[in-house]
Amino acid sequence: MPYRLFSLVGKTALVTGASSGLGQHFARVLASAGAEVVLAARRLDRLQRLEAEIRANGGKAWPMLLDVTDRASVIRAFDGAEAAVGPVTILVNNAGVPSGSFFLRTSERDWRDVMDVNLDGVFRGQEGARRMAENRTGGSIINIASILGFGAIKSLSTYAASKAAVVSLTKSMALELARDRVRVNAIAPGYFSTEFNDTFLTGEAGRRLLSRVPMGRAGHLPELDGPLLLLASDSGAFMTGSVITVDGGHQLAMG
């Protein structure tokens, strides 16, 4: 099969949470595959540095302020993206926040703060889906879930609940949007080393956690590139409602 199927030339992508972590990596990968990438997050200074890096490497990127907890901000970001580069045809709903508290110690405010970003933020991506349908461009929506959407680890009940809901929402979106040529899939990563969890993963508790992963380690960010490009490109043209797990077999060991 020709590798050009993975090309994103002529496509416009918007990545939420692009200022750090997985979102930053996803933006680099999409740009390297030829997409024009709208870098969307709350920290404009970080987005501008990423834009400069991508352009220095021959890619095309535009920073755009976006707060996924604010629908008006989401609408402004899509308006800005369309004005700058045209309709968005790839949407990566990546923005998320971690949570680490036992259930009985979780306040309603903590619960609501996590859900507002991790779940409601994906729901507010409805704006991108609506435009893909109305513009008749079709497109690909990629929601970033987690293996914790399928299992449980102590002290992560709120985060796990938010990601389980993302998995369910992905399937419902896929079912309803297929008639508009909008594909909706998800990637469910296991533990990958980023600036958010480096300290934890290299500590004693992190090492114990990774010892239970069948492949015995955390993931490396480039190991997410294949699934991302498959779902974003025409290579995945007949995929919708799928959830791709990338976790070194961790889910199998969670019981």
Report the interhelical angle of 71-85 vs 126-135 (nearest 10°): 40
In a domain, 231, yes or no: yes
In a domain, 205, yes or no: no
In a domain, 76, yes or no: yes
User: Residue 60 is part of a domain; what is its CATH number?
Assistant: 3.40.50.720
| CB within 8 Å of 210: residues ≥ 6 apart | 191, 201, 216, 217, 218
pLDDT confidence band for 1 (50 / 70 / 90):
very low
CA proximity to 133, closest of 81, 180, 91: 180
pLDDT, position 100: 84
pLDDT, position 3: 58
Instruction: Find the mean pLDDT for residues 139-162.
Output: 95
In a domain, 103, yes or no: yes
Instruction: Find the mean pLDDT for residues 59-67.
Output: 98
- Number of domains, the chain: 1
Catalytic residues: 159
DSSP 219: B
pLDDT, position 234: 95
In a domain, 65, yes or no: yes
Q: How many CB atoms lie within 10 A of CB 210?
A: 19
In a domain, 217, yes or no: no
Rounded CA separation 82/86 (Å): 4
pLDDT confidence band for 126 (50 / 70 / 90):
very high
In a domain, 254, yes or no: no
In a domain, 120, yes or no: yes
CA distances (Å), origin 213, targets 64, 170, 243: 37, 26, 20
Q: What is the span of the domain harbouring residue 112? A: 3-193+224-241
pLDDT, position 152: 86
Query: Which residues, listed in sequence order, are joined to residue 90 by a DSSP beta bridge?
Result: 13, 140
pLDDT, position 44: 97
Give the pLDDT confidence of 188-238 residue by residue, as tens digits: 999 998 887 888 888 998 899 999 999 999 999 999 999 999 999 999 999
Contacts from 28-32 at CB under 8 Å and sequence distance 24+? Answer: 28/53, 28/54, 28/59, 29/224, 29/225, 29/228, 29/229, 30/90, 30/92, 30/228, 30/232, 31/57, 31/59, 31/60, 31/61, 32/57, 32/59
Report the interhelical angle of 21-32 vs 225-232 (nearest 10°): 60
- Whole-model pTM: value is 0.96
